[in-house]
Structure 1
Amino acid sequence: MNTDHVDTLSFMLPVLGFAAWSGTGKTTLLTQLIPRLRERGLRIAMVKHAHHAFDVDKPGKDSYELRKAGASQMLIASSRRMALMTELNPPAEPGLPELLARLDASRADLVLVEGFKEARIPKIELHRPSLGKPLLFPDDPDIVAVASDAPPGRPCDRVLLDLNDLGTITEFVLQWQRNHR
């Protein structure tokens, strides 16, 4: 188990992870959940783990060309958004505490984390028994709920949520956020 423990008290915002094996539907769920949370008045900050190299800008765009030319940090901003790309040299996986420290806590009420399934933060486990992957909760004391599309197949001492019931998941997250702010 990763010892990447996040001290949420010093961070100032509730942090709730969504952990699952690849292919379970974390991004799909979150793209449906975030608008519902926003409708209920929450400002959401999001941290997502990506594998290996990725680009948010595309070849031919100025920001891409400047970063590829050797800028170790590339900040691009407009009246609508800004993005900071930082090249890690030598390559190193940033820990969740380091990433959370880069967020502007004054602009959010809740941080949702996708991936980082081994980080020591409260998490909702997403589980689809049809994928044949083991449950995470038995070995992860930080999992507060299990959202599954079928019975988990073993006793579960965590809150059980229906993975296909977005309303119930929304209410759970709202209540969790209220209890942890």
Structure 2
Amino acid sequence: MRLYGITGWKNAGKTGLMERLVAEITARGLTVSTVKHAHHDTDIDQPGRDSHRHREAGAQEVLLSTPRRWALMHELREAGEPSLADLLSRLSPVDLVLIEGYKHAPHPKIETYRQVIGRPLLASKIGTIRAIAADGPVDTGLPVFDLDDTAAIADFILREVEL
């Protein structure tokens, strides 16, 4: 599986770009999976639902299956967060895995950047950032794409991973 990341400051457009890239790249006939890293505690389960009750009762893993999808929830129960490599090993094979977050991991990345945030480019400190997707001009030696030019960004990523 080939990996490519989208990183950037909070509210810089990462999730929107991820969503558009998945649609663009799958429309080209490639298979794509995604990994999203969150720095805060999040729960995809709802209190009161059967699967939530199973987890709250102490189940290590709860697999929820429906006619349309299945989801596996794994409780860490005081264990450390697994590495990105460990998580990737759990994915089914696809052409490309797009990773949101994990800015310091070794895979190549595009940084999303919005001028209004007023923060410096991460690319100046993170060597695995290969390009910038911005909402305006940026002073960098890297390729710069318009944040909304999904097709051009997808072309760049697919060239980078040789797909």
Partner AA of 1:126 in structure 2: T
Q: Distance in 1 between matches of 2:81 and 2:24?
A: 31
Q: What root-mean-square deviation, in Å, do the aligned CA atoms of Structure 1 and Structure 2 show?
A: 1.5
Partner AA of 1:37 in structure 2: I
SS of 2:40's partner is coil
Structure 1 consecutive aligned stretches of length 4 or more whose deviation exceeds 3 Å: none
Unpaired runs of 5+ residues, structure 2, are none
Unpaired runs of 5+ residues, structure 1, are 1-12
Match of 1:14 in 2: 2
Matched, 1:103 2:91: yes
Give 1:151 deviation, angstroms: 1.3
Q: Distance in 1 between matches of 2:12 and 2:40?
A: 20
Match of 2:106 in 1: 120
Give 1:84 deviation, angstroms: 1.0
Matched, 1:173 2:161: no
Give 1:81 deviation, angstroms: 1.5
Q: Distance in 1 between matches of 2:79 and 2:114?
A: 33
Which whole-Å deviations, capped at 9, do the CAs of 1:113-138 have from their partners, x for residues lacking one? 00111111100111112211110112
Give 2:31's match in structure 1, choosing from 39, 43, 53.
43
Which whole-Å deviations, capped at 9, do the CAs of 1:61-116 have from their partners, x for residues lacking one? 111111111101111122321111111121522221111111112xx110000011
Q: Distance in 2 between matches of 1:161 and 1:91?
A: 40
Q: Distance in 1 between matches of 2:9 and 2:80?
A: 22
What is the number of equivalent residue pairs in this alignment?
163
Match of 1:141 in 2: 127
Q: Distance in 2 between matches of 1:93 and 1:133?
A: 28
Q: Distance in 1 between matches of 2:97 and 2:16?
A: 17
Match of 2:41 in 1: 53
| 1:157-168 → structure 2 map (5 Å cutoff) | 157-168=141-152
More deviation, 136-145/166-175: 166-175
Match of 1:10 in 2: none
What is the TM-score when the length of structure 2 is the normalising length? 0.93
Give 1:139 deviation, angstroms: 1.5
